[in-house]
Chain A
Amino acid sequence: MLVVKNLSVKTLDGNMIVNPVSFELVAGEALTIVGETGSGKTLLAQAIANNLPEGLIAEGEIYLHDQAIHTLSADDRNALWGKTICVLPQEPTRSLDPTMHAIKQVKEGYQIVKGLNSSDATAQASHDFECVKLPHATHKYPFELSGGMAQRVAFLASRSGGATFTVADEPTKGLDANRRDDIAKQLRSLIEKNEGVFTITHDIDVAHQLGGRVMIMRKGDVIEVGESQQVLSHPAHPYTQELIDADPRRWPKREAKSNKDPSIVNAKNLSKSRGGKALFSDVSLSLHPGQIIGVSGDSGCGKSTLGDMLLGLLPSDSGTIEWAHKNNEKHKAQKLFQDPTDVFSAHVPLRTSFNDLMKKYHIGQDKLTGLLAELRLDESLIDRNPDQVSGGELQRLAIVRVMLLDPTFIFADEPTSRLDMLTQKAVIEALVNVVKHSDVAIMIVSHDKALLSSVCDELITL
């Protein structure tokens, strides 16, 4: 179905970003690219779909359904969208028009792209909604849909043009295990219909579930190719093994710490409701120096709310929170955000942000140097702007920033859910290391239970 010969991606001035690769995708068999962020796997998918970011060009030969699509003009390439190539969105909720009913966004593909008349298109779209068990959601707006429902609507919408070759770029990013399995199931159903499915993921589990063939990529090179069962259970390359080992379920279990020291924070009978619905009630917890506590639960259950309540960022409906530190030491309780770009000023060098903080709290330069070394970050990194370092590095820099204040408590809110597995492992190891060398207590919120159970002393499920 898809034949790719010597496909590479370059910048306009000739810098090679993805080295030439050749592969073939057979209808009815999954092809999955696995690799960490920055391995070039997304660019490869975009080179095939022809939606590379500005300033990048693709070279090489691409044959789709025996048509040499690399010879087509840009407009003719774009005309393949929807009809021949289907691209699943990464962020379904944001991919739907916020001011249009769900069904209309599916119907327009049938009507405008496939060319059905209005009533046939409506009938097809309603049928689709029934197939994914969403008949009640046809006349809802995207803001009225849950993340999982929006994903299914976006899935229908992207396929309504009739394409039988699907590109799925990180379709499971930031999702909990159940939702991830749903998406793998959706993709499998396409493969069973003898369609072509080209998936890009950093999640070994997804590659496992899809079966077929896998390609392991690193830094623009294909490292290993083969049957997924073979490659994923008997990797030939050490990097593949590293990727497999990055799965939290394979992490070594952290030793639990005893909690004899007096508690840092004591919370009793906390509860919170939103919009008249109780998120949680009667949650009590206490944290001791050197402890890591995990909070898990489905999305929207109030995990982050609990942490923000402890920090005093949100009021609690009931209960009490007692801190060991004094009122004028509120900076001893810190938060690590899901997206570290929220933490640093976007257009100034990181060093400026660090210096401002150190000036305010009279922190010496040697402390910064020490922490950077401890987290295995090169000091020259902080002379760059936040958008010039990788996501994993920026999150570790955010840890440095938090640790500069000698915190007694860190609330880490999904600190790794935007990172790939290897980077996730590095960041979590950094956090665990921080706990080992200081008396800080950490509360980690995550949708990944395997991750939490491998590093946490205690687990709260909301």
Chain B
Amino acid sequence: MKRQTVNTLLNILAWRSIQAVFVALFVGIVCFFAAQGLGGNMAYRIAGGRYGIDLMDSSTAESVARELGLDRSLWVRLVEWLGDSLTFNFGNSLVSGSPVIEEVGHTLGHSLTLAGASIVLSVFIAVPLGVLAAKHPNSWFDKTLLFCSVSLKSVPNFVIGILLVMLFAVQMKLLPAAGHGDFSYLILPTLTLALGLAAVSVQVVRDSTLGVRNSTYFLFSRIKGLSDAQTFQRHGWRNLLVPVVAFLGIQFITIVEGVVVIETLFAWPGIGHSLVHAIFARDIPIVQGAAVAMGLIFVAMNALVDIAVLLLDPREGGKS
């Protein structure tokens, strides 16, 4: 690796680390105030989350308020959270009492499994199809693919999910409809997310491939004597992947939004699922923890994309 490339790499890491700190602070503080702004009495909500709506009354609510110090001023509680966060103590769930880092870490793992599997599956769908479509642009295959892309993208993700459940779980009884267990539970939510992702990325792959195929360097390699397959292998892949990898990074960010809906639909115990429940129960530490974790994943993903593009495209090494 060239020295310049290493320097750029270090620059990326340094810049993204600084960004991570600010994202964490900003997201944490915004979540804190947003939770305060939600309607309803917070102590009642938390008591409801702990003991169940039926067993909650004004005395349990009062004891919750006393225990958590909810009567103290906002600022005191915020500063307390900030101070604790600096020592990597992210507090305990107000509902279950277990440490936030444990709860979030657990659900985050599930979500990352789902998101990662979806991205990987979408790549396996989009790249071969996109490359094939670009080989014969405007062929019936290319047009059918575009039609599928547009159709899939114009349907909300959860509708695709419901259709898949109806087909594979209800009709064919091949796969579980929802829940979490062995590998079979992963298939439908992954497929739902992956189809939505691939619908767009297949067209990005197709356009990128077509651009490379029509490029002067591709034609020059052909006329140099390399066959189409040899040229594609040596000069096609790397060049077409640069924009595709950058696009996958953007997609990962949209997937986080998809995860909240899809996890709820498939009762997948991921971070999106737990975030929604934590908001209902006013479990502020969990909300903060989950949101900060998602924010940090954004930053980490962006850093990974930057590094991948840097390694793929030598022209990036010159920038800083």
Contacts and interface: CB of A to CB of B under 8 A. Distances in A.
Interface of A: 49, 51, 78, 81-83, 87, 89, 91, 94-100, 108-109, 112-113, 141, 143, 154, 157-158, 160-161
A143 B226 CA distance: 23
Interface string B227-251: 0001000110011001000000000
Interface in B281-320: 312-315, 318
Contacts, number: 73
Given A94-B215, A112-B226, A143-B318, 14 more contacts: A81-B223, A81-B225, A82-B223, A82-B225, A97-B217, A97-B235, A98-B217, A98-B313, A98-B315, A99-B238, A109-B226, A157-B220, A157-B224, A158-B220
A97 B226 CA distance: 13
A94 B235 CA distance: 13
Interface in B191-246: 215-217, 219-226, 230, 234-235, 238-239, 242
Given A97-B235, A97-B239, A99-B312, A109 B225 contact: yes
B155 to A, nearest CB: 32
A157 B220 CA distance: 9
A113 B224 contact: yes
Nearest to A100: B235
23 contacts: A49-B223, A78-B222, A82-B225, A83-B225, A94-B215, A94-B217, A97-B217, A97-B235, A98-B313, A98-B315, A99-B242, A99-B313, A99-B314, A99-B315, A100-B235, A108-B221, A108-B234, A109-B224, A112-B225, A113-B224, A113-B226, A154-B220, A157-B220
Nearest to B226: A112
Nearest to B315: A143
A9 B118 CA distance: 52
A158 B239 contact: no
Interface residues on B, range: 20 to 34
B225 A96 contact: no
A152 to B, nearest CB: 15
Contacts of A98: 217, 239, 313-315
Contacts of A99: 238-239, 242, 312-315
B223 A96 contact: no
Contacts of B220: 89, 95-96, 154, 157-158
A87 B220 CA distance: 8
A112 B314 contact: no
Interface of B: 215-217, 219-226, 230, 234-235, 238-239, 242, 312-315, 318
A158 B230 CA distance: 16
A112 B215 CA distance: 21
Nearest to A85: B223
A423 B238 CA distance: 41
A27 B242 CA distance: 44
B224 A82 contact: yes
B216 A95 contact: yes
A161 B314 CA distance: 26
Given A98-B239, A99-B239, A112-B230, A158 B223 contact: yes
Contacts of A154: 220
A174 to B, nearest CB: 14
B227 to A, nearest CB: 8
A145 to B, nearest CB: 12
B226 A108 contact: yes
B82 to A, nearest CB: 43
A362 to B, nearest CB: 42
Given A99-B239, A112-B230, A143-B318, A81 B216 contact: no
- Would you list the 7 A-B pairs with minimal beta carbon distance, nearest first? A82-B225, A113-B225, A95-B220, A161-B225, A94-B216, A97-B235, A141-B314
B223 A97 contact: no
Given A97-B239, A99-B312, A91 B216 contact: yes
Nearest to A161: B225
With most chain A CB atoms within 10 A of its CB, the pick from B216, B224, B234 is B224
A154 B318 CA distance: 23
A160 B225 CA distance: 9
B217 A158 contact: no
B209 to A, nearest CB: 15
B226 A82 contact: yes
A197 to B, nearest CB: 16
A81 B217 contact: no
A427 to B, nearest CB: 26
Contact of B223 (A51, A100, A141, A160): A51
Contacts of B312: 99
B153 to A, nearest CB: 26
A160 B224 contact: yes
A5 B112 CA distance: 68
Contacts of A95: 216-217, 219-220
Nearest to B228: A78
Nearest to B238: A99
